[in-house]
Amino acid sequence: MSRLIAQNEQGPLELKPSAESRWLCRCGLSKNQVFCDGSHKKTLDEDPSKTYEYAEDGSRKEII
C-alpha cells in the first residue's frame, strides 16, 4: 500500500523531550502534524498492492 500526501510545511519542528510519550504521525493523515491524531485507523484496511489518495474530508480513492 502507499498513499499520496500533500505537504505544505518547508522545515522541521523542534521536539523537546518530556516525561510523557509523544506519538509522531508516520501515515501522513494526521490533522495535527507531526503528532498522531488517530487518523491512521483509516489506513488499516488498505490493500498493500494499491495506492490511495485521501481528501481533506478523510474520504479516499484508489488511484493506482
Binding stretches for ligand FES (CB under 6 A): 25-27, 29-30, 36-40
How many CB atoms lie under 10 A from the CB of residue 29?
20
Collapse the DSSP code of 20 into the 3-class scheme (helix H, G, I; strand E, B; otherwise coil) and give the result. coil
Cβ at position 20, least distance to ligand FES in Å: 17
Residue 50 or 58: the one with the smaller Cβ distance to ligand FES is 58
Q: Smallest distance from the beta carbon of 62 to ligand FES, in angstroms? A: 19
Kind plus residue range of the DSSP H or E element containing 4? strand 2-4
